[in-house]
Homo-oligomer: A and B are copies of this chain.
Amino acid sequence: MKKSIILTFIIALWSIASFAQQALGGATNIISPEVHNNQTVTFRLLAPNAKEVKISGDWMPAPRSADMTKNADGIWTYTTSALASDLYMYSFFVDRFKTTDPNNVYLIRDVATVTNVFIVGNGKADLYQVNNVPHGTVARRWYDSPGNNKKRRITIYTPPNYENTNEKYPVLYLLHGAGGDEEAWIALGRASQIMDNLIAQGKAKPMLVVMTNGNNAQEAAPGESSMGMYKPSMQVANTPGKMEETFPDVIKFIESNYRVKADKANRAIAGLSMGGGHTINISRLHPNTFDYMGVFSAPGAADGNAEYDKTLEQQKANGFKLYWIAVGKTDFLFDRVTAYRAKLDQMGFPYKYRESEGGHTWTNWRDYLSEFAPMLFK
């Protein structure tokens, strides 16, 4: 008798499944991309009417383009050579029209562009995967920023087990670059996956990671505020210095709403590009607040401005555990980072330096987070 009920329900489920709302246009069973065990990757695209299909991927040397080959079914394919472990982005060009891969639902927005991604494991990108380890919680909240006279959206990672203990945790404040927002580190930066994995491996201490919106002109990421679904832009009308001035609003919110250790030894701040600039400025203007600074792909002022330098002298005099500067050899800011380092050297301002390959890229910023987080709170 019970079986027939279950059977009825199976039939109901199947009929629902078969007829459920179809997205416009139909679907196929094409798998793309397919990451093979030998780290090669095959892409497939159904475009029977196209005369030419190319693929462009960020692992390719310039001009970043390769021809795809059409088979009898109208499916164009391309297989890479073995790729190093990383998170990659790619696009197709169908008769020179740039498009995403309709068979890959994994896309990430960077400013105003949405691009397909895939991960090749067996190396550093294992940290970017969701693995079978305890997972933290990721919350999108709104906090009050009296300094900006508005409520603002913020992304907060609490580590695995946070909800099940009475323990207090340290906090990493993690800042995005120009064109980014409170979604940048969690999406492009794979911050929650990196932290879950580093914590599971015992390489990083359990900590909160607080991802702010560094554009004081915004309440929230595009589409997440009452400004609606507008087209994102690099040109946000920020007031210079406002992010630095109002950062105590963020710290106050975190320390009065979460079970955290509210002292210098348990606060870290890091950021990329514009967020690296914010990190330099927030840490020197609030010079007894953070014991750990991570400056990714960003310079401070190197022009010998006395007032500016006085704040660095004060930061040095107060002391801290780590001031970590990382930059890629081909970063367009490399020379300015070098000039800033020369000034710090001259001042005897202690820092650690990490020079990587590559440039001003999320590949580097994921690496930097993966290296920086294990150095914190130890």
Contact = CB atoms under 8 A, between A and B. Distances in A.
A37 interface: no
A370 interface: no
Interface residues of A, number: 108
A49 B95 CA distance: 8
A100 B113 CA distance: 12
A118 B12 CA distance: 33
Contacts of A137: 139-142
A71 interface: no
Given A105-B231, A112-B27, A2 B307 contact: yes
Interface in A13-43: 13, 15-21, 23-25, 27, 31
Interface string A213-251: 000000010111110110110110010110000000000
Interface in A88-106: 89-91, 94-100, 102-106
A56 interface: yes
A274 B89 contact: no
A160 to B, nearest CB: 8
Contact of A9 (B19, B178, B301): B301
A179 B17 contact: yes
Contacts of A98: 25, 102
B305 A8 contact: yes
Nearest to A117: B229
Interface string A291-313: 00000001101010111100000
A273 B192 CA distance: 32
A267 interface: no
A17 B178 contact: yes
Contact of A17 (B24, B229, B235): B235
Interface in A128-169: 129-132, 134-135, 137-142, 151, 153, 163
Interface of A: 1-2, 4-6, 8-10, 12-13, 15-21, 23-25, 27, 31, 47, 49-50, 56-58, 64, 89-91, 94-100, 102-107, 109-115, 117-119, 129-132, 134-135, 137-142, 151, 153, 163, 177-179, 220, 222-226, 228-229, 231-232, 234-235, 238, 240-241, 257, 273-274, 277, 281, 298-299, 301, 303, 305-308, 332-333, 336, 359-362
